[in-house]
Structure 1
Amino acid sequence: MDMNHYTRLLSQLVNIDCGTQTPQGVATVASRLCALWQEAGWFTRTVELDDACGPGLLVTNRHEAAHYDVLLIGHMDTVFPPGTVAQRPMSEDETRIYGPGVSDMKAGLLNIFFALNNLTKTDNERLSIAVAMNPDEEVGSPWSQQWLSELASRARVVLVCEAARADGSLVKARKGVATWEIHFSGVAAHAGNEPEKGRSAITALAHTVLAVNQLASPDAGTTVNVGIISGGDAPNIVAAHASATVDIRFWENSDYERVKEALFTLCSKPGYNGVALSAHCLAHKPAMTPGKATGALMHHIEQAGERCGVPITWQAVGGGSDANLTAALGIPTVDGLGPVGGGFHSPDEYLEKASVAPRIALLGEIISRLPCSEDIVENTNN
């Protein structure tokens, strides 16, 4: 493994401002990845999803395929605003590489590239392989969800290459995540001359936030967090409008339904002082819960780890990913197959150098030992 070559390629991906709300930056990442895969002889297709986001990128080893033996998923967007790369471009020390999105998840994208290009010619010809890279995972994949779901419905297994946890663990389960926005419509008035004629949307918001907080269920692991609020036009105007954005995390999809219904009930009635409320869902990913078929995939991965000398441990984590989407379709899905990293979504984000080569080898071993559809049909007939 030429780590210097890997690092050069990684810098070309990390040193681009490509937050979800920076479509041109995401498009630049897609263009560089597309060129890399094409040079290696793979089929590529850029997928336009929505004007609000960058493009998706599909890579396959066959020009047209009705099914995939394996679908690998990764995202090209980050959470960071424009200007972040200028402030802290990719850097490294003896053991770690730092930078915006270095582990979440530019290194994961690069590991997919190296693992698949290390496959033998026989395995490449035997397996039908697809790689889907989307531009909007960090906001819940609202524009790519349908595209990813369609691809996953044609795949036998899905491997999501988000970073392994800081202790090296892979991810077997993830909380579901949903983002809701609540709007408050009040009545404006002069705050000094005739405040009694107004109905403050901001005051109604404050009362509602307290009620929304009560929807959490700590015993069930369900969290409800009002993370963004906004409203009003000026200090001397009773606020006619306000909004609150709510993050919901849950282990049980049934508990999410409880919270959702409670939000609808809360917003179906006038708020404080008669302010009108309305709520709508911005994004939703169901909880990722491993079933029997996923258990078999996990065992396959554990065996691959033994052959590669990579200890395999598992975690259930609170953050959502595109693995939530594919697992909800009943497709065996495992996550965390990228290299080891930490500090996600922060200035301290890092990648462990020593994990890169072993995790590329592990991913390649997992894929190379997968049976193809023809093998399964033959075994069934026998």
Structure 2
Amino acid sequence: MVNGDQHRTGPKKKAPARRKKTAPPSGDTEMVQLLTADGERVSHPDYDIDLSDDDYRNLYRDMTIVRRLDSEGTALQRQGQLGIWASLLGQEAAQIGSGRALAPQDMVFPTYREHGVLWTRGIDPIMPFGLFRGVDLGGWDSRKYKFQMYTIVIGAQALHATGYAMGVTMDGKVGGDDGEAVIAYFGDGASSQGDVNESFVWASVYNAPVVFFCQNNQYAISEPVIRQAKAPLYKRADGFGFPGVRVDGNDVLATYAVTKAAVDNAREGNGPAFIEAFTYRMGAHTTTDDPTRYRDSGEVEEWKTRDPIARLRTFLKNEGLADGDFFDGIDAEADKHALDLRERVIAMPDPQPSAIFDHVYAEGSTLVDSERAEFNTYHASFEGSDH
């Protein structure tokens, strides 16, 4: 399968400077936005970027392919090929924008929904499907890709990320061209967990180079964010002594700009930051959830008008950066990726029962070896039996 970085090869042409309007007053003047819901490019006094034409097109490609792969995940679960699937539908801009803002040496600590960020790190999209199919633990080489394992325990990855970032500082890997930063992803629901708030304390006190990236998709499963926070989530950073910012999480350009500024700052040794990406979970929390029980269709329809892919598509068309052939080509490429993914997921072999004993210890264990032998003897006793 073609990975997410192959389209990055070749020389990049710098786009000519485009005329941008200053963002007009809106209902949320605290939120950073560079691309309105209508696809209009606006500027921001603190965060702004100038990308090449290819960069704009590649961001659209990233989001379109990731959405198509995600929809295939949902379809596979509905057809009994996966035990469960956690969709990112609606959050493509937050994940692609932030993922593309990272440097190769930066380390990512995800939840279980960061399929878009995973794509930006060049990991084969099939990797998490083993986890959701139940045939493996979703393992990949976290050191190679600078992307840790999916985390099911809500908020635990924030502490893991903070500890890792503290180690980065202690190893002297901050500042300079080869400085490292860490980013931890979590949702609005996880922001209420003790682990997340404890990680804020440690990160602040130790000036750790970590960016806390909260995808506020408005619901912690069935609970709206207003039930757990009466003030914008990003303001919590003030109480811990580091900066916080709210960004339009459906604006891939703003998300890229804000994340890049935060990780660059952390990499230079200036400490942590909190980013609240204000977005919306268009689908269910997972395929075991029924969102119609706790939110009305009018709310969903309103958020559809802020679709992250549609607004970038409008921008590309209005700026003359893409035409119908380009969009058709991207759709066809996305379908090809999805078909390849489907075939490989269905072909995944079931693991041997004794595989549960593999990889428990890096260098083996006498106790585990004896347990494996006992298990194999017990399992073999059923051979030839109808039970």
Task: Give the TM bin, normalised by the shorter chain.
Answer: under 0.3
Q: TM-score, normalised by structure 2?
A: 0.21
Larger Rg: 1
Instruction: Point out the structure with the larger helix share.
Output: 2
Instruction: Point out the structure with the larger strand share.
Output: 1
Q: TM-score, normalised by structure 1?
A: 0.21
